[in-house]
Chains A and B, each alone.
Chain A
Amino acid sequence: DAKTTQPNSMESNEEEPVHLPCNHSTISGTDYIHWYRQLPSQGPEYVIHGLTSNVNNRMASLAIAEDRKSSTLILHRATLRDAAVYYCILRDPHSGYALNFGKGTSLLVTP
């Protein structure tokens, strides 16, 4: 399985941009990069995904390195509601279609 590495925790001030890094040096050419987040006492929710090109949606942006060995989830203006555990996940066709959640990055947002 292609694995991901994320920092255990990060801290941000409210209304500041947040860059959440993810390393996936063993990524294969067919792996999609997905990001989910889990707010306290809730189920995970989808944030964004991409394959090769950078992606933007209403929640966040995903910047993917040219060699695809790393990616960065960008929250443009953090709010208190963005405090959550953020998971960077590779969708690997050889491992079935279940999401392989690691430990993720716990994001603390302070006012």
Chain B
Amino acid sequence: GAGVSQSPSNKVTEKGKDVELRCDPISGHTALYWYRQSLGQGLEFLIYFQGNSAPDKSGLPSDRFSAERTGGSVSTLTIQRTQQEDSAVYLCASSLLRELADTQYFGPGTRLTVL
């Protein structure tokens, strides 16, 4: 079946511009996660959605970052007034259930470059 998809695969933007990154999770998955991976760094959790519950935004690095999930499916991560330190690969993952044994399925990521 179809996996997690993300678009665009690459995004180059100028400092100060806003960007939107999209994630299409696996159909039926109730949990959705955003992570980012900076060059040479590990994966950093950003935000997580579970069903209709309030999202866990504890990983967002600043108020320039926001995300929404419409209809419990597609999610958009928005970065306002981008900075060069925002350059990274942004990864989306989804999972079926919110349990400790649950498996997360990752998309291919969006590579964001801020000039």
- Which A residues form the contact surface with B (CB < 8 A)? 30-32, 36, 42-46, 49, 51, 91-93, 96-104
Q: Which residues of chain A come closer than 8 Å to B112, judged between CB atoms?
A: none
Which residues on B sit within 8 Å (CB–CB) of A30? 100
* Cα separation A74 to B109 with both chains bound (whole Å): 28
Which residues of A have CB within 8 Å of B98? 97
Q: Name the distance in Å between A39's Cβ and chain B's nearest Cβ.
A: 11
Q: Is the CB of B43 within 8 A of A46?
A: no
Q: Are B59 and A98 closer than 8 Å at their CB atoms?
A: yes
A22 to chain B, nearest CB (A): 15
Interface size class, chain B: 20 to 34
B residues apposed to A, CB below 8 Å: 4, 31, 33, 35, 42-45, 48, 50, 56, 58-59, 91, 93, 98-109
CB <8 Å contact, A103 and B100: no
C-alpha gap A33/B100 in the complex (Å): 9
B100–A97 CB distance below 8 A? yes
A97-B31, A98-B45, A98-B59 known; A43+B109 contact, CB < 8 A: yes
Secondary structure type dominating chain A contacts: loop
Nearest chain A residue, comparing its CB with the CB of B103: A46
A97-B100, A99-B45 known; A46+B56 contact, CB < 8 A: no
**6 A-B pairs (CB sep. < 8 Å):** A43-B4, A44-B93, A44-B104, A45-B106, A96-B56, A98-B33
CB distance from A107 to the nearest CB of B (A): 16
In the complex where A43-B108, A43-B109, A101-B42 touch, is A93 in contact with B100 (Cβ < 8 A)?
Answer: yes
A93 surroundings in chain B (CB, below 8 A): 100
